[in-house]
């Protein structure tokens, strides 16, 4: 049986270095601004969480493998090659203290895309066997069972039954030729079946055909979070296969941010080809419906003072920023923005697989302080978001900080405000 080795990890790091990464390492002037942008630094004041520092091993590989001077240094014995222990030590930085939120990439004055590099560095870490146990478990379940939380079709089927009973709507399954293929995230299946109900309601409202696939219902992709592109590719290919088999026009990524990143942005690149179908986030689809005048609201506005938490992968990393705001304006009167919002939002602290890392629990609770403060400053009565993972992390955070604030998914909220036809 094959296994992870340092050599494989090192090789993976080598493979993943490209023009941009070389430019980033050459350009960094150690200004420290990326630290100020990362909640793992701002909430702990510990310099070791500075984003660029998280990339020290990758930097070493670049310098020693791909620069003349670096090679010379190793040859002269002036620099030490990367060691396995270093990678082991960096697990804390590359996984536990980075949610791949990408906020650091927004501020770097020389323009470094730090999150891009951290994502790549995870490839090496995973191949070297330094991925956190929690993520390895989730990834294994995703491959073996079909969902990182170990859910089988049966579980979804049960939820579908419940939803059908509750709403009186039928949930189409494996319908060839439907316009939309709707994906779910495991968390939505277990914790927020309201999402499925909302989608069913909305689709009926706008009169579109849609379907769920028994072969590919899980949209999340642990392969990407752990940094194993081969695994990620397999997970994506399940969806691609199903979508092509069902001949859908559009695959709708669920609210979950990382799922969107995985299928919309990384997916085609993992497959190494263009998709024959479109991939859209549910909020994108809803906003299109709104734009086409298909969403008829009941005219009853939310009056509570509420704000919207941008899931990093949807907003900054995914480009879905205006859509949720358009939708909120349709149904809410008292929508207020956090000081840093949209592409400058602060992460909840649990993205990028961090929520699956047990040993990172304490740290992520600590850094939730940022979101807590943001919300407290705003004095809102309700929080809207669009990612099941964010939602759970925020709920846990509230619990830890003994704070009370209702949270609701945006899709659900939109569904609630549609006129019954």
- Within residues 9-38, the interface with other proteins by CB under 8 A covers 11-12, 14-15, 17-24, 26-33, 35-37
Cα 81 from chain centroid (whole Å): 33
Cβ proximity to ligand SF4, 24 vs 192, nearer residue = 24
* Residues 92-121 close enough to bind other proteins by CB under 8 A: 105-113, 116
Stretch that binds ligand SF4, among 100-108, 234-242, 276-284, 401-409 (CB under 6 A): 100-108
Chain-centre distance for alpha carbon 101? 8
Question: Do 229 and 360 form a contact (C-beta atoms < 8 A)?
Answer: no
Among 5, 15, 26, 32, interactor with ligand SF4 by CB under 6 A: 32
Q: Does 101 bind ligand SF4 (CB under 6 A)?
A: yes
- The residue within the footprint of other proteins, chosen from 44, 74, 86, 140 (CB under 8 A), is 140
Q: Cβ of residue 119: shortest distance to ligand SF4, in angstroms? A: 9
CB of 61 to other proteins, least distance (A): 10
Which residue stretch of 258-266, 300-308, 352-360, 379-387 sits at the interface with other proteins (rule: CB under 8 A)?
258-266
d(CA 76, CA 63): 14
Longest Cα–Cα distance in the chain: 77
Q: Which does 175 bind (CB under 5 to 8 A by kind): ligand SF4, other proteins, none?
A: none
- What value, to the nearest 5°, has the Cα angle with vertex 244 and ends 243 and 249? 65
How far apart are CB 128 and other proteins at their closest, in Å? 9
- Report if residue 30 touches ligand SF4, rule: CB under 6 A: yes
Residue 273 touches other proteins, criterion: CB under 8 A: yes
**Binding residue for ligand SF4 (CB under 6 A) from 13, 61, 100, 202?**
100
Contact flag: residue 104 with ligand SF4 (CB under 6 A): yes
Cα gap 344→163, rounded to integer Å:
36
Q: Which of residues 10-29 bind ligand SF4 (CB under 6 A)?
A: 28-29
Q: Where are the beta strands (DSSP E) in 109-246?
A: 180-182, 210-211
Nearest CA to 51 out of 127, 108, 13, 130 is that of 108
Residue 380 Cα to chain centre, angstroms: 25
> Which region among 148-156, 223-231, 239-247, 410-418 touches other proteins (by CB under 8 A)?
223-231
Q: Tell me whether residue 328 is exposed, middle or buried, using C-beta atoms within 10 angstroms of its C-beta: 0 to 12, 13 to 18, 19 or more.
A: buried
Site for other proteins in 300-359 (CB under 8 A): 315-319, 321, 339-340, 343-344
Phi, psi for 42 (deg, rounded to 5): -60, -30
271 binds, among ligand SF4, other proteins, none (CB under 5 to 8 A by kind): other proteins
Task: Select from 38, 332, 338, 413 the one that contacts ligand SF4 (CB under 6 A).
Answer: 38
Task: Give the torsion sign (CA, 405, 407, 410, 413).
Answer: negative
Find which of other proteins, ligand SF4, none residue 98 binds, CB within 5 to 8 Å per kind.
ligand SF4
Using CA atoms, how far apart are residues 179 and 185, in angstroms rounded to an integer?
20
Residues 381-420 that bind other proteins (CB under 8 A): none
Distances (CA, A) of 42 to 29, 45, 107, 378: 20, 5, 14, 19
**Which of ligand SF4, other proteins, none does 230 bind, CB closer than 5 to 8 A by kind?**
other proteins
Strand partners, 407: 383
Shortest Å distance, C-beta 24 to ligand SF4? 7
Tell me whether residue 55 or residue 171 sits nearer to ligand SF4 (CB atom): 55
* Residues ≥6 apart with Cβ < 8 Å to 108: 28, 33, 34, 114
List 40, 41, 93, 289, residue binding other proteins (CB under 8 A): 41
Q: How far apart are CA 329 and CA 308, in angstroms?
A: 11
Q: Is 112 in the site for ligand SF4 (CB under 6 A)?
A: yes
Cα angle for residues 84, 88, 93 (degrees, 5° grid): 130
The correct pick among 75, 274, 286, 412 for binding other proteins (CB under 8 A) is 274
288 vs 416, beta carbon nearer other proteins: 288
Please select the residue that binds other proteins; options are 47, 81, 177, 406, rule is CB under 8 A.
47
- Cβ neighbors of 153 (< 8 A, separation 6 or more) are 146, 214, 217
Strand partners, 308: 384
Which residues in this chain contact ligand SF4 in the complex, by CB under 6 A? 28-34, 37-38, 40, 51-52, 54, 98-104, 108-110, 112, 114-115, 118, 347
């Amino acid at each position: 049986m094959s296994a992870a080795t340092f050599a494989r990890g090192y090789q993976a790091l080598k493979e993943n270095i490209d023009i941009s990464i070389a430019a980033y390492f050459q350009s960094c002037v150690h200004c420290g601004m990326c630290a100020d942008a990362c909640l793992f630094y701002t909430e702990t004041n510990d310099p070791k969480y500075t984003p660029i520092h998280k990339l020290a091993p990758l930097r070493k590989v670049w310098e020693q493998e791909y620069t003349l001077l670096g090679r010379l240094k190793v040859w002269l014995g002036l620099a030490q090659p990367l060691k396995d222990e270093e990678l082991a030590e960096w697990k804390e930085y590359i996984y536990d203290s980075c949610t791949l939120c990408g906020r650091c990439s927004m501020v770097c004055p020389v323009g470094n895309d730090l999150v891009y590099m951290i994502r790549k560095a995870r490839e090496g870490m995973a191949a070297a066997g330094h991925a956190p146990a929690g993520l390895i478990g989730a990834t294994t379940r995703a491959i073996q069972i079909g969902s990182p939380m170990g859910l089988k079709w049966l579980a979804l089927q049960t939820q579908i039954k419940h939803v059908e009973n509750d709403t009186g709507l039928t949930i189409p399954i494996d319908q060839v030729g439907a316009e939309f293929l709707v994906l779910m995230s495991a968390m939505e299946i277990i914790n927020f079946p309201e999402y499925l109900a909302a989608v069913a309601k909305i689709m009926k409202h706008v009169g579109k055909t849609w379907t769920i696939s028994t072969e590919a219902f899980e949209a999340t992709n642990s392969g990407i979070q752990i940094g194993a592109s081969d695994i990620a590719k397999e997970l994506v290919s399940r969806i691609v296969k199903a979508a092509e088999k069902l001949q859908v026009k559009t695959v709708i990524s669920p609210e979950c941010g990382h799922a969107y990143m995985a299928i919309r942005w990384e997916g085609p690149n993992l497959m190494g080809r263009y998709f024959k179908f479109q991939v859209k986030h549910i909020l994108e689809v809803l906003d299109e419906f709104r734009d086409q005048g298909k969403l008829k609201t009941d005219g009853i506005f939310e009056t509570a003072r509420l704000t919207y938490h941008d899931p990093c992968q949807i907003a900054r990393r995914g480009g879905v920023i205006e859509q949720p705001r358009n939708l909120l304006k349709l149904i809410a009167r008292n929508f207020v923005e956090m000081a840093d919002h949209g592409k400058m939002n602060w992460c909840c602290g649990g993205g990028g697989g961090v929520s699956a890392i047990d040993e990172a629990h304490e740290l992520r609770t600590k850094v939730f302080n940022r979101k807590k403060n943001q919300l407290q400053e705003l004095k809102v009565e309700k929080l809207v978001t669009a990612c099941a993972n964010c939602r759970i992390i925020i709920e846990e955070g509230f619990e830890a900080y003994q704070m009370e604030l209702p949270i609701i998914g945006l899709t659900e909220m939109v569904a609630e405000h549609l006129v019954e036809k």
